[in-house]
Structure 1
Amino acid sequence: MVFLFRLISVVIIGIIICVLGIIFCLLNPRNPKNVARFAHLFGFVFKPIMGIKVDTRIYPDIDKLGSCVYIANHQDNYDVIVAANVLQPKTVTVGKKSLAWIPFFGQLYYLTGNILIDRDNKSKARNTIGKVVNEIKKRGISIWMFPEGTRSRGRGLLPFKTGAFKAAIAAGVPIVPICVSQTNDIKLNRLNNGHMIVEMLEPIETKNLCKEDARALMEQCYTKMANKIAQINDEAKQLNNQK
């Protein structure tokens, strides 16, 4: 019964939000401020429906930072709900081009100003870093990327790719790691899916780095994030054991 209620609610409410969002964004298409607006709305609406409580910890002076590259661990489709409130204004995500073909959601994803890349076309995929750097400099925006390049689906933090780190160095902007506690225990047929924790770590400056430093920067971020994810996983377990 819980499963059916959630499935119907998510589909119907999701379509309504997307349709209204598309109409809203058509008045001001590709405005990067709309990404955070609709991410926060999705989180506000769907967290209670999914029985999720999220402790969101945002770095205190993040609003003074300016443009940056956010990197986050990528687990599954629940990321868009769990990590919604940590998304900052004028931040867009980088997603595969096929997302645009998802009915309703894909059109909203494009119109809010996110960056679409063609992963199947290797020559175009190689230009992703240049495209990201150009968007940061031209539009004065921040970029959200998943350095694992795929969803981990309960396998822990997967190895990183260097793209996000090369982009941050080329643009001369900080890297801001974001850690999300495990979401693979979320069940559609469970009434209370418990607590999750999302924590934004201290920004890491890149201004004095060159492209040869990208791998070392990647390894530094991976270690920081792996340690923090282990810590917040333990915290979330303790909170859930108190239920």
Structure 2
Amino acid sequence: MSRIVGVKLVYRCSKNIKPNESYVYIANHQNSYDLMTVSHAAEPGVVTMGKKSLKWIPIFGLIYWLSGNILIDRKNTGRARDTLSATGKTMKKRNLSIWIFPEGTRSRGKGIQPFKTGAFRLALSEKKKIVPVVCSDITNGKIKFNRWNNGIVIIETLDPVSIDPQAHAKHLAEQFKQDMEITFKRISEEAERLSEKK
């Protein structure tokens, strides 16, 4: 789908990702183009966790739900926690990896926004490694549908990170956000340089 909007993807995946191991993937969430860009990094056996309202999007919502993705009610804290607990059980039973956008909503060109703690609570409770996935800046204004070349987007799946079982989810959220911001800045600058050369 990225070719339809004139975006060339450059994808780099850590060689330390093991195909039969389940992880908690976390990725930055920029805008609706994520469906055509950062989703490229979803490995086999990965399902996403998204907000419940996604099911009301015509066609996409049904496909999203039928594909085994997990819908969470963010407005109801109790239900959200129950969903996390059920997700942990599903991970064990089906040896799945879970993909979460910890920002909880699209950043819309404002860089990486503060992370919510759900992904980190899940990783702690299930003793899973966290895999950061970072997509370079792709703000709405950069893509114009009246041209074939809308530049290059770089996506990097970083090394899995083992976490201290005694760590607090809030501290993990802050640390991973800081680390991903460094990668985001680096690959955004690189993507800009490569796009100018095209």
TM-score by length of 1: 0.76
2:161 corresponds to which of 204, 207, 215? 204
SS in 2 for 1:49: coil
Q: What whole-Å deviation, never above 9, does each CA across 1:78-116 have from its counterpart, x for those lacking one?
A: 111112321111100001122112221111111110001
**C-alpha separation between the residues in 1 aligned to 2:97 and 2:22?**
5
1:62 counterpart residue number: 17
Q: What whole-Å deviation, never above 9, does each CA across 1:119-161 have from its counterpart, x for those lacking one?
A: 2334312323213222212221000000111100001100111
1:47 counterpart residue number: 2
For this pair of structures, how many residues does the alignment match?
Answer: 196
**C-alpha separation between the residues in 1 aligned to 2:190 and 2:160?**
23
**C-alpha separation between the residues in 2 aligned to 1:121 and 1:158?**
22
State the 1:180 CA deviation: 0.3
SS in 2 for 1:103: coil
TM-score by length of 2: 0.93
**C-alpha separation between the residues in 1 aligned to 2:149 and 2:89?**
43
SS in 1 for 2:36: helix
Q: Give matches, 1:71-150, under 5 Å.
A: 71-150=26-105
**C-alpha separation between the residues in 1 aligned to 2:100 and 2:127?**
16
Unaligned runs of 5+ in 1: 1-45
**C-alpha separation between the residues in 1 aligned to 2:180 and 2:18?**
21
Cα 1:170–1:122 change in 2 (3 A) is: closer
Q: Which amino acid aligns with 1:170?
A: S
Cα 1:112–1:69 change in 2 (3 A) is: same
Pairwise CA RMSD of aligned residues? 1.5
**C-alpha separation between the residues in 1 aligned to 2:20 and 2:120?**
17
Deviating above 3 A after TM superposition, structure 1's stretches of 4 or more consecutive aligned residues are none
1:232 counterpart residue number: 187
**C-alpha separation between the residues in 2 aligned to 1:236 and 1:173?**
31
Q: What whole-Å deviation, never above 9, does each CA across 1:205-235 have from its counterpart, x for those lacking one?
A: 13x413x432232222111100000000110
Contact 2:26/2:99 (CA < 8 Å) preserved in 1?
A: yes
**C-alpha separation between the residues in 2 aligned to 1:200 and 1:239?**
19
State the 1:62 CA deviation: 1.2
| Structure with more contact order per residue of length (Cα contacts < 8 Å, sep ≥ 6) | 2
